[in-house]
Every structure is written in C-alpha cells, then in structure tokens.
Structure 1
Amino acid sequence: MATKLCVFDAYGTLFDVAAAARVAAEEPGRGALQQVWPQLAEDWRRKQLEYSWLRAVTGDHVSFWQVTQDGLDWAMARAGLDDPELRERLLALYWELPAYREVPMMLARLKAEGRDCAILSNGSRDMLEGAVDSAGIGIYLDAVLSVDEVGIFKPAARVYDMVGARFGCAPDEVLFTSSNGWDAAAASAYGFRTAWVNRAGLPMDRLMAEPAHVLDDLTTIPELA
C-alpha cells in the first residue's frame, strides 16, 4: 500500500540531543564540562529513555520534561558536577535543540511531493513546540503528536494508535522513522513501515520485529516514501 503519511520521532531523530551539552561546553568558564560533556550527553539521554520505559511499565506517568530533568540530575551526579547554574543552562538549551542538517531539505522534499508529515514523540507538547519553532521546521509539519494526550510513553501501542486517530490512515500507509532501534522495532510490530536512523552504527536490537530500512541519516527518506 502506498505511503500516505511520514511520521518521525523527535529527539535523536530530527533533533540533535547531544547539542545541549556540546553547546554549553563551548561557553566560557565551562572547563569542568568540557572534560566530560560527551559522557554526560550519553548518560543524560540513556537515563531519560530508561526512566520513560520504567514509568510506562509501572503506570507512574509524569511529563517528559520531568523525565528529562531527572535524567540530567543523574548524569550530572555521575560526572561529579554540582552546579545549579549549569543545570539550568543545560535544561534551557534542551528547548533549543537544532535539527540535524539534512532535516529541513528532507521535509521540504516530502511536502513538495504531497506527503503529510508529523512528529510522534514522548516529548511534552510544550517542549516539542519549542524545538520545532527553534529549528524552523514547523512549516513542514501537519501535526505534532505528544504522548501527553494518552498518558503513557512509547513503545506502548496507545501511542502509535494516535497516528491513525489523527490522520484516519491504516498502519501500513505510514512510514515511521526513529533513531531508536527499540522504537522502530515496536512500530514495525505495530504494523507501520519503518526506518531506523542508525547514526551511531549500532547492532540491531533483539526485539519483536525489525525495521524495514536502516539508514545512516534522513536524506533518503523521500525515496523510501
């Protein structure tokens, strides 16, 4: 069946989640962060995801913004960074994450071909709106779908249900793209056509399904759609 809709995860897929730590480390007076920012960025993202999975299992849902703060607190503690001002700066930068460089042109191509495009993310609605506005990609998006509407994080099926409810399409009419192997696997099992953006060259996750496509970046998404 032909693709009617291209849906993207947000963080790590469209937006560079390492940018907050990288940008802060380049600012004057950040010597301590300069030494550890790659590890801090990795720990921050990992704990953010782990906390979202655990909360999905237990049903103890909070906003993604809370999960993001909790993940940063853990990462800073591991790095030995006890700096409230740095914490606030890192959190502020998370609202201004840049899109990967190929994203605007890729989305523009999809829209020129008449495709509907949307975000489906664990992110809180206000966080997503901030990132979309900061990156200047809102003109290419027909919807920004947040788990705020269903009160549970991916990979719960209720999150993927939001796409059909919003656009009235069948799962196999959707091309879903994520940088998270677990997200792409769950979306494949759900029935979406999927692409995994494997920027880090990681092994395939051993899960319930595999993505249909594995990509280095988002450049070729229009060709798959």
Structure 2
Amino acid sequence: MAIKVCVFDAYGTLFDVAGAARVASEEPGRAALADVWPQLAADWRTKQLEYSWLRAVTGDYVPFWQVTKDGLDWAMERAGLDDLELRERLLALYWELPAYREVPMMLAQLRAKGVAAAILSNGNKDMLEGAVDSAGIGEFLQALLSVEQVGIFKPARAVYDLVGQEFGCAPDEVLFVSSNGWDAAGAAAYGFDTVWVNRMGLPMDRLMAQPAHVLSDLTTIPELV
C-alpha cells in the first residue's frame, strides 16, 4: 500500500539529545561541565532509555519527564557534578533541544507531497510541544502522539497502536522513522515500513525484526514515500 503518514520518534531522531549538555557547557562559568559534557550527555541518554525499558517491563509507569530527571541525576553523580543550579539549567534546556539541521526542509518536502507527518514519542505531550515550538516545526506536524496516552513506554505494541487510532490507517501505510535501533525493530515487528536513522554507524541490533531502510540522516526520507 502507499504510505499515508510518516511518523517520527522525537528524541535522537528529530531532536539532538546531546544539545542540552553541549549548550550548557559553552556558557560562562561551566568549566567543570565543559570537561565532561559528552560523557554526561551519553550517560544521561543511556539511563533515560534504560529506566524507560525497565519501567515498561515492570509496569511502574511514570511520566517521561521523571525518567529524564532520574537519568540526569545518575549522570551528574557519575561525573562528580554536585550543582543544583546546573541541574536546573540542563533540565530547562531539554525543553529546547535543537532539531537536526535537515529536519525543517525534510518535513516541508513531505507536506508538499501531501504526506501527513507526526511524532510518536516516549516524551510527555508538554515536553514534545516545547521542543516542537522551540524548533519552529509545528506547522509541519499533524499530531504529537505520546506514550502517556497508554501509560507504557516503547516498544510496547499499545504505543504503536496510537498511530492507527489517530490516522485510521493500516500499519503498512505508515513509514516509521527512528534513530533508536530497538525502536525501529519494534516498529518493524509491529508491521510499519520502518527507517532506522543510524547517525553513528552502529551495527544492526539483533532483535525480533529489522528495519526496511537504514539511512545516515533524515534528508532522503521524502524519497521513500
């Protein structure tokens, strides 16, 4: 079937999750962060994801914002950064993560082709609205779908169900795009036509399914629809 809607993961796919730590590290008086920000950003993201997976397995759902704060606390402790003001600054910047540079043009091209675009994310709805507004890409998105609607994190099938409920489409009418290999695998197993945006050149995950397409960035997404 023809693709009717292109659905994007948010964090790491449309928005650069390292952006908060990088921006903060460039601010005056942040010498301690400047020395460790790449590791802090990586640890923050890793723990954010690990905590979401564990909570999905155990059924102990909390909003993604809580998971995000918990991940940052772990990362800051590992980095030896005991600084409440820095913590608040990093959390504030997470609401303003920069979009990758190809995102606006790519979304505009999808709109020109008449293909609906949406976000499906672990993020809270208000977190997503903040990032979308900050990046100035709201005009290109028809829906912001959040796991808070079902109370469980990806890759639970109930999360992917949200797309069909919103757009009235079959799984094979959806192009799902994620920079997370595990998310791309989950979406492929669900039945979506799936793109893994492998920005870091990582090996393919050994999971229940594999994405149909592997790209290094989002530039050529419109060509797939």
What interval of TM-score do these two structures reach, taking the shorter chain for normalisation?
Answer: over 0.9
One-letter amino acid of the counterpart of residue 160, structure 2: Y
Q: Secondary structure at the match of 1:154?
A: coil
One-letter amino acid of the counterpart of residue 8, structure 2: F
1:196 maps to which residue?
Answer: 196
1:174 maps to which residue?
Answer: 174
One-letter amino acid of the counterpart of residue 34, structure 1: A
- Give the Cα–Cα distance (whole angstroms) in 2 for the partners of residues 92 and 166 of structure 1: 30
- Give the Cα–Cα distance (whole angstroms) in 2 for the partners of residues 208 and 74 of structure 1: 30
Map 1:140-219; keep pairs closer than 5 Å: 140-219=140-219
1:12 maps to which residue?
Answer: 12
Offset, 1:111: 0.2
- Give the Cα–Cα distance (whole angstroms) in 2 for the partners of residues 133 and 215 of structure 1: 26
Which consecutive residues of structure 1, in runs of 5 or more, have no partner in the other structure?
A: none
1:56 aligns to 2:56 (yes or no): yes
- Give the Cα–Cα distance (whole angstroms) in 1 for the partners of residues 47 and 148 of structure 2: 20
Offset, 1:131: 0.2
In the TM superposition, what whole-angstrom CA distance separates every residue of 1:105-144 from its partner, at most 9, and x where no partner exists? 0000000010000000000010000000000000000000
Q: Secondary structure at the match of 1:27?
A: coil
- Give the Cα–Cα distance (whole angstroms) in 1 for the partners of residues 66 and 183 of structure 2: 21
In the TM superposition, what whole-angstrom CA distance separates every residue of 1:159-192 from its partner, at most 9, and x where no partner exists? 0000000100000000000000000000000000
1:104 maps to which residue?
Answer: 104
1:78 maps to which residue?
Answer: 78
Offset, 1:97: 0.4
TM-score (norm 2): 1.00
- Give the Cα–Cα distance (whole angstroms) in 2 for the partners of residues 117 and 125 of structure 1: 16
- Give the Cα–Cα distance (whole angstroms) in 2 for the partners of residues 203 and 209 of structure 1: 14
TM-score (norm 1): 1.00
- Give the Cα–Cα distance (whole angstroms) in 1 for the partners of residues 110 and 78 of structure 2: 42
Q: Secondary structure at the match of 1:145?
A: strand
1:132 aligns to 2:132 (yes or no): yes
1:27 maps to which residue?
Answer: 27
- Give the Cα–Cα distance (whole angstroms) in 2 for the partners of residues 200 and 22 of structure 1: 17
- % identical aligned pairs: 81
Offset, 1:79: 0.3
Which consecutive residues of structure 2, in runs of 5 or more, have no partner in the other structure?
A: none
Map 1:31-50; keep pairs closer than 5 Å: 31-50=31-50
Offset, 1:29: 0.5
One-letter amino acid of the counterpart of residue 25, structure 1: S
In the TM superposition, what whole-angstrom CA distance separates every residue of 1:48-88 from its partner, at most 9, and x where no partner exists? 00000000000000000000000000000000000000000
- Give the Cα–Cα distance (whole angstroms) in 1 for the partners of residues 152 and 11 of structure 2: 17
- Give the Cα–Cα distance (whole angstroms) in 2 for the partners of residues 51 and 97 of structure 1: 21
- Give the Cα–Cα distance (whole angstroms) in 1 for the partners of residues 200 and 42 of structure 2: 12
